[in-house]
């Protein structure tokens, strides 16, 4: 089974690269000593997030920051 030396994910036979890290897969379970061979990132448009999705992700991130700030403020009030 091919493995990704970077993220450690196991792939099905026939795969040659990790589509998350864009590195070449190796033939054994990674133990941290492998040389990670970067490959060129995929062409434009491949697995690229749509602008709409990016905007939603940005909003979610902003909301998370606000919620964390609120939680911190509440915690400080109770101290």
Contacts to Zn ion by CB under 5 A:
4, 6-7, 18, 20-21
How far apart are CB 23 and Zn ion at their closest, in Å? 6
3-state secondary structure 45-76: CCCCCCHHHHHHHHHHHHHHHHHHHHHHHHHH
How far apart are CB 8 and Zn ion at their closest, in Å? 7
How many residues are there in the chain? 79
Rg (C-alpha) for the chain, rounded Å, is 20
Nearer to Zn ion, 7 or 66 (CB): 7
How far apart are CB 3 and Zn ion at their closest, in Å? 9
């Amino acid at each position: 089974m091919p493995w990704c030396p970077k993220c450690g994910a196991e792939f099905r036979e026939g795969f040659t690269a990790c589509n998350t890290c864009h590195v070449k897969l190796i033939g054994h379970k990674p133990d941290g000593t492998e040389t990670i061979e970067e490959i060129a990132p995929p062409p434009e448009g491949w697995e690229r997030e749509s602008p709409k999705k990016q905007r939603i992700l940005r909003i979610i991130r902003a909301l998370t920051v606000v919620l964390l700030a609120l939680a911190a403020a509440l915690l400080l009030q109770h101290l």
